[in-house]
Amino acid sequence: MVSRTRLGELLRHLSITVDVVNKQMSDLRLELSQPDVLVEPIVGHFSLLQKVDSKEMFDEGYRAMQNELPTLEKSFSLLNSFTRIRKYSGKRQQ
């Protein structure tokens, strides 16, 4: 079995490392972009090379989006729209 060899261990450690780096890069990107709405499906328990059920992933994404719909609707209010326009137009001028 490959998972019990040195190559298997190397691949396992590589996968864990890529997962950690990917999470850190995602967190940094979110910190920099500061999105108005953030939809966070719970999928962190899946690893990079793991075979996943696409229906399960879809359902989790759908559930997460349903939970954030009120926040999304609120972000499209007139006041929030003007705030967003000012925020992004100010970044271009700097």
What pLDDT does 33 receive?
A: 85
What is the domain extent for residue 8?
A: 2-93
Provide the number of structural domains found in the chain: 1
**DSSP, res 5:** S
> What confidence tens digit (pLDDT) does each residue in 28-84 have?
999 998 888 899 998 878 776 678 888 998 999 999 999 999 999 988 888 888 887
Question: Pick from 24, 22, 35, 19: which is nearest to 71 by CA?
Answer: 35
